Amino acid sequence: MKIRIEWTYKIPKGEEVVFSSEDMPAETAMAVAEDLERIGRTKNIQFVDQFDSSWTMKEMKIYLKGIETEPHNVIVYFDGGYDRNTKYAGIGCAIYYEQNGKSYRMRANTKLEELSSNNEAEYAALYFCLQELEYLEVHHLPVRFIGDSRIVVNGMNNEWPAIEELLVPWANRIEEKITEMGIQPEYELIPRKANSEADKLATQALNGVLIAATSEIIA
């Protein structure tokens, strides 16, 4: 979750000045706020999330304590590919997250039939990611979804309409699942080369190589 800090600084025997920080991860915001408290001239520290909801120091500490044992700081890369000759689609996702003070990467893919285009495969890949997040018990958290499909990313950002009629049900299913899980999505478009991991997983699925693996990331 991205947070900004708002606080009041009191000049000795003088005026009070209100400051506001840039957005930062909640853990970083807490560390900065605790340091500000140690100065002794700061008061009325509040945290403001991306929905403009305010949190007190106590509320933020409870929140951070609660998510320690659950997956958080979740970033998802997704991609889908479609073979017109075989009528099969390959979809893949790479999920990065933190849990219990450690960092993990989960990779998964699958092969689908009865799809009819590459754009549909891209939407199916995003929905597949949500199913994997549900398996990880990710809920009521911000999640970054990163892909190279303009149709999907701009569509889910409501910047483009779902031009193809068959894509509308996919977009609706994704929105319903996101609402059900309480996820606060952030969609990001990247070049295809920067999405090579998810692209490889989708290609492997098309070739019949199925992967489902989770590994710890050692710094």
pLDDT reading at 115 higher than 70: yes
pLDDT digits (tens, 9 = 90+) for 22-66: 888 888 888 888 888 887 778 888 898 877 888 888 888 888 887
Half-sphere exposure of 8 (CA within 13 A, CB side): 7
Most confident by average pLDDT, 17-21, 34-38, 44-48, 209-213:
209-213
Rounded to whole angstroms, the Cα distance separating 185 from 143 reads 5
**pLDDT of 28:** 86
Are the CB atoms for 134 and 175 separated by under 8 Å? no
pLDDT reading at 211 higher than 80: yes
Rounded to whole angstroms, the Cα distance separating 61 from 131 reads 30
Rounded to whole angstroms, the Cα distance separating 188 from 176 reads 20
**pLDDT of 68:** 75
Greatest Cα-to-Cα distance within the chain, rounded to the nearest angstrom? 78
**pLDDT of 2:** 77
**pLDDT of 209:** 97
For the record, the structure tokens of 161 come out as 């309409």
**In this structure, how many other beta carbons lie within 10 angstroms of the beta carbon of residue 196?**
14
**pLDDT of 36:** 84
pLDDT reading at 219 higher than 80: no
pLDDT reading at 112 higher than 70: yes
| Interval 164-191 mean pLDDT | 92
Strand segments, DSSP code E, in 71-218 are 72-83, 88-99, 102-113, 142-147, 184-189, 212-217
For the record, the structure tokens of 68 come out as 């320690």
Looking at residue 141, its amino acid is: L
Q: Which residues of 181-195 are buried (b: 16+ CB within 10 A; e: fewer)?
A: bebebebebeeeeeb
Helix, strand or coil for residue 23?
Answer: coil
DSSP helix, strand, coil percent of the chain (3-state; round to 5)? 35, 35, 25
**pLDDT of 128:** 98
pLDDT category at 215 given cuts 50, 70, 90 is: very high
Looking at residue 61, its amino acid is: K
Average pLDDT value for the chain: 90
pLDDT digits (tens, 9 = 90+) for 126-174: 999 999 999 999 988 889 999 999 999 999 998 877 667 889 999 999 9
Q: Where are the domains of the chain?
A: 2-67, 72-217
Distance of CA 89 to the CA centre of its chain: 24
Check: pTM over 0.85? Answer yes or no.
Answer: no
Please name the CATH architecture into which domain 72-217 falls.
Answer: 2-Layer Sandwich (3.30)
